[in-house]
Structure 1
Amino acid sequence: MPLHGLTVLDLSQYLAGPSCALRLADLGARVIKVERPQGGDASRSLYLAGLDFDGSSALFHAINRNKQSYTADLKDADDAAAVRRLLTMADVVIHNFRPGVMDRLGLGWEAVSAINPRIVYAGVSGYGEAGPWRDRPGQDLLVQSLSGMAWLSGDAGDPPVPAGLSIVDMTAGAQLCQGVLALLVRRGVSGRGGRVDVSLMEAAIDLQFEHLAVYLNGGDAMPPRSGVANGNVYLAAPYGIYATADGYLALAMTPIDRLGALIGMEDGAALPAADDLDARDAIKTVVADILIRRDTAHWLAILEPAGVWAAPVLDWPALLAHPGFAALSATQRIAAPDGATLTLTRCPIRVDGRVLTSSSAAPRLGADRAAIDGDMAA
């Protein structure tokens, strides 16, 4: 595996930091999750739909599979000393404490790099080290709201609509992982470690780079959402999702005159230009009125052979039943020590054509401390 032989200390909890550590584990690193003795990572008890597996939430296993657990109270002198010993053997350390906390614990960048000059020190925060938001809670929904993202989804008459998943947390974790890997490459050349920092807010801003590039160069107000089938605030008709007689159909970029000929827009020639954002609702209304008359399969049978970018809107049962999903082998089974199993998604990366999977569940709290202490003593 690409990262075989590297050791990562994961001092983070919830999603952003642990998702970065998870990807490093998927790529072959040994990840030691350092948790507080009382309760551990708070996501152990963050139950979604009440789903428990091996004493912890399914969410915890999804984001912390294939790791080891080492319990330590960082405010306790003996435990803090044990963690410092771990730092001498680690290649990477990840944390998501608020700015200043790691310094107060004696585990800030200056202290840790003095212990181990080769270490890659990775931190994820809500809003960075400075500014008026510095000490605000770094939580996904709050950052979506502050960053303007929530004003991009939904139709023009809707209130702000957040993404239905923790998209900022997961993006920040991916960005942090990129930074860690870049510094590991540099270390391979120069021998020195380094520090990488990512904030949820900066990740949310970067997610909007296409839209902000337009706004920063001439915009004086939020771009208007389409009042009909909004899909992207800067893309013209027919881009969006439309109701059909039995479900929904997504239409991406396609010339409106070509689409009109295929679906029977008899008055299409009288419509305004499709690239006129002020006119897109008029065009989309005509499209919507036609598509609702027949089922999704009918329209796909017309549009797909003609090369129009269209797709049915699937829910999870339909997705999992589709042959396209089966072809990806997108899930894996993990096993608890008692033999119980849980189905989770797998790492989406393939290396040398190999799908990366691991059958190891997330560790029980503190399960590996004795063995890890023994390794250090040896």
Structure 2
Amino acid sequence: MNPLEGLIVLDFSQFLSGPSAALRLADLGARVIKIERPDTGDSCRQLSLHNLISDGDSVLFHTINRNKESYAANLKDLADLTKVIKLIEQADVMIENFRPGTMDKLGLGYEQVKQINPKIVYGSISGYGKEGPWKNKPGQDLLVQSLSGLAYLNGNADQPPVPFALAAADMFTGAHLVQGILACLVRRGRTGIGGLVEVSLLESLLDFQFEVLTTYLNDGGQAPERSSINNAHAYLGAPYGIYETQDGYLALAMGSVIRLGELLSCPALAAYGDPKSWFLERDAIKRLLVEHLQTQTTQHWLNVLEPADYWCADVFTWEKLLAHEGFQALEMVHEITRPGSESLLTTRCPLRINGIRPHSTKWAPSLGENNAELEQEFKLVKVNG
């Protein structure tokens, strides 16, 4: 039995942050019912990555909406809204990620829903919080990365701000929402009281930077300085970074520069015996490493460093990663298939419960696929007889 088996989650959200949270709850055993607009549904159905479409919906939609059911309802239509309210009466969790005030206008804000179902745990995602001058700005991932300062941590010192090449804000926010929902479910199990969990994309990215922001706040407002060479962490000294070798790349994490020089047979590094210089002179140290590491292959350096327990790694492409037995042992890829369409390979839940990874091959639903059965099961319409 999965931990959340028997719980009902209503997922009103769209795109990535909210649906990713609902996906994790589904992986843990909850029954997730996706509430979508008729005709168009979740806008993510048409938001394709690299133009990949499967059975009329984007592969991105399939990726974050597998293992769910779909109920199509027009929340501005009284008859449909009445049906959705009946679902809310029987639900355990509700998730939404619209702009602040949208759900209140529909009669489905937390205070209104709490009157319908006092035990419900209500998860709400916004872009920048529900107060302040930014509350109505579009909560889009790249925009939030830009405002959060995160982009100034990536790239070398002579480069412009560099964003993460994926939806970091959405993913972290979805994970934070799950944490809050699970905490409220634990409390509800003890007290019978539901609760409201609020997270925002901006706050999640600020939390993601807690390490470097704390350093900044306690260092007299000294801004982080990106390394000019192979930057990988604005506040860490050499050798931290990724270096080109004769045939690929090598990642070097924290470690003694003196010990590294001995292992690599690079006597020039001996000039940096003071650990303070590893940050103050990190670009000079990195220049020496850039030149030296290109003289041999990645595997040559790994054969030297790994036996000495010096923190290092090869830098894999996805092709090389997927072919490696270390990746294959994790069994992180599985196949899902929507009836009548091609199968889709995607990642699995990264958690294990009692040594077992939650597993489901249930496809992402087509729009309104489950309307009829849900209306019968939850008595959303009058049943003959």
Verify same fold: TM over 0.5.
Answer: yes
**Within 5 Å, which residues of 2 pair with 1:266-305?**
266-271=267-272, 273-276=274-277, 277-305=279-307
| Structure 1 residue 322 corresponds to structure 2 residue 324 | yes
Alpha-carbon distance, 1:339 to partner? 5.7
Say whether the 8 Å CA contact 1:347–1:357 is kept in structure 2: yes
Question: Do the aligned residues in 1 keep the contact of 2:54 with 2:341 (CA within 8 Å)?
Answer: no
The DSSP-based 3-state class of the residue aligned with 2:214 is: helix
Cα displacement string for residues 131-180 of structure 1 (whole angstroms, at most 9, x for unaligned residues): 11100010111111100000001111111111111111000000000000
Offset at residue 274 of structure 1 (A): 4.0
Residue 184 in structure 1 maps to residue 181 in structure 2 = no
Give 1:143-222 correspondences, 5 Å limit.
143-222=144-223
Gaps of 5+ in 1: none
How far apart, in 1, do the equivalents of 2:27 and 2:328 lie?
21
Distance of 2:150 and 2:291 partners within structure 1: 29
Contact 1:333 1:343 in 2 (8 A): yes
Q: Which amino acid aligns with 1:308?
A: Y
Residue in structure 2 matched with residue 42 of structure 1 by the alignment: 43
Aligned equivalents of 1:338 and 1:80: distance in 2? 31
2-structure distance, mates of 1:271, 1:305: 24
Aligned amino acid, residue 312 of structure 2: A
Partner of 2:354: 352
Structure 1 CA distance for aligned equivalents of residues 12 and 339 of structure 2: 24
Query: Is the Cα contact below 8 Å between 1:237 and 1:275 reproduced in 2?
Result: no
Aligned to 2:28: 27
User: Which residues of 2 match residues 1-378 of structure 1 at below 5 A?
Assistant: 1-271=2-272, 273-276=274-277, 277-338=279-340, 340-377=342-379
How far residue 77 of structure 1 moved from its aligned partner, in angstroms, is 1.1
User: How many positions carry a matched residue from both structures?
Assistant: 378
SS of corresponding position for 2:247: coil
Q: Which moved more, 1:161-170 or 1:45-54?
A: 45-54
- 1:328-363 residue CA offsets vs partner (Å, 9 max, x unmatched): 001110011126311000000011111222111100
**Which range moved further: 267-276 or 19-28?**
267-276
**1:4-59 Cα distance to aligned partner (Å, 9 max, x none):** 11000000000000000000000000000000002100110111122221221111
Tell me the SS of whatever aligns to 1:333. strand
3-state secondary structure, aligned to 2:124: strand
Contact 1:124 1:199 in 2 (8 A): yes
Between the aligned partners of 1:271 and 1:92, the Cα distance in structure 2 is 57
**CA displacement at 1:217 relative to structure 2:** 0.9
Matched AA of 2:28: L
Residue 240 of structure 1 contacts residue 252 of structure 1 at CA under 8 Å; is this kept in 2? yes
Q: What amino acid is aligned across from residue 158 of structure 2 in structure 1?
A: G
TM-score, normalisation: structure 1:
0.98
Cα distance in 1 for residues equivalent to 2:219 and 2:305:
36
* Letter in structure 2 aligned against 1:240: G
Separation of aligned partners in 2, 1:46 and 1:357? 26
Report the AA paired with residue 374 of structure 2.
I
Deviation at 1:76, TM superposition (A): 1.0
CA distance in 1, matches of 2:5, 2:313: 40
Amino acid at match of 1:285: R
Q: Are 2:258 and 2:272, in contact at CA under 8 Å, matched by a contact in 1?
A: no
Contact 2:55–2:341 (CA under 8 A) maintained in structure 1: no
CA distance in 2: counterparts of 1:375 and 1:44, whole angstroms: 26
Distance in 1 between residues matched to 2:341 and 2:166, nearest whole Å: 30
> C-alpha distance in 1, partners of 2:340/2:230?
49
Does the C-alpha gap of structure 1 residues 111 and 83 become closer, same or farther in structure 2, counting only changes over 3 Å?
Answer: same
Residue 124 (structure 1) shift? 0.5
Cα distance, 1:272 vs structure 2 = 6.4
Partner amino acid for 2:219?
Answer: G
- Conserved? CA contact 1:272–1:279, under 8 Å: no
Q: Which amino acid aligns with 1:164?
A: A
CA contact (8 A) 1:241 1:248 kept: yes
RMSD: 1.1
Query: Does structure 1 retain, via aligned residues, the 8 Å contact 2:145–2:151?
Result: yes
- TM-score by length of structure 2 reads 0.96
1:371 Cα deviation after fit: 0.6
